[in-house]
Amino acid sequence: MKIFVTGGAGFIGSHTCVELLDAGYEVVVADNLSNSSADAVYGVKKITGKNFTFCKTDLCDEVELEKIFKMHKFDCIIHFAGLKAVPISVTEPISYYENNIVSTLNLCKMMKKYDVSRLIFSSSATVYRSDNPMPLTEDSALGCTNPYGWTKFMCEQILRDAAEAEGNWSVVLLRYFNPVGAHSSGIIGENPNGIPNNLMPRIVKAARGDLKNFTVCGNDYDTADGTGIRDYIHVIDLASGHVKAIDFAAKNKGCEAFNLGTGKGFSVLEVIETFEKANGVKVPYSLAERRPGDIATCFTKTEKAEKLLGFKAEKTLEDMCRDSWKYQKGTT
């Protein structure tokens, strides 16, 4: 079975490629490398000992995208490609709407034209309203607090409508919580270009001395220690969820959403403390005001993914911290 992985050189995409290749799938990757590196492609090949096709392509370029579909007959698509930084989406909303929505529309056009009926979409917990009671379920009220979340919300609606109209499509919407960690080999992990926006790469860069002004954004939330609480999931667990989603898509038609998380919430300060204990290092930080678009608490129930996908996260927060540090110690 041949899987087309868009954004496959990114953090989650590259780890998913490892799981796919280890499971015996054939993989074709497309990525424009705007916030990733070809090093991840080489890393996946090194870990798995398997080769695969990589195309440096922007999905917003419909002509270039179609060239890939003309060359390959895909059985399923996993769509990771997209801009993903919440704070930047607040200051640059137009580029986020254009990139994330146009790329998804182009992909849908190619699916229809080249008779591909299965798609796994990389969505986000940001599609849920901030005033939902916790923990979230797949039936919690939808509505977003930032442009990034709205792009995911809109893409979900596009895919839902397309699946209903086509009749034979199978679309799986995977709503991630907070992916962290790295491959246990230390070969691939999260290493965004420039100053990272996500918590874990900021923590490890601060511990390594590369980030001199690491700030915890918001210490006045209505939580036990005042810092934001999130449901952190190891990227390897998350990647395995995509393999299970392929099996689900092969057996079911229509559009179905699943939350992928651990079902447990940890505050920013709890993550920092766990990281320090797991790795025997100190993480220097300071406190700052909240970031625009952030909410106090966000974690999920896991029953639906466990029941229908057979998915359950296995790795602990300590695992996430150790693997993140192992990877970052080897980067420059």
User: How far from each other are the two terminal CA atoms of the chain, in whole angstroms?
Assistant: 36
- HSE toward the beta carbon, residue 163, CA cutoff 13 A: 22
Residue whose token pair is 């992928």: 260
CA–CA dist 154, 144 (Å, integer):
10
Output the CA angle 290-259-96, nearest 5 degrees: 50
Count CB atoms within 10 A of the CB of residue 193. Answer: 10
Catalytic residue among 128, 148, 176, 327: 148
Q: Exposed (0-12), middle (13-18) or buried (19+): which is 131, by Cβ within 10 Å?
A: exposed
- Angle, CA 316 vertex, CA 16 and CA 303 arms, to 5°: 75
Q: Is 97 a catalytic residue?
A: no
Q: What amino acid positions are annotated as catalytic residues?
A: 148
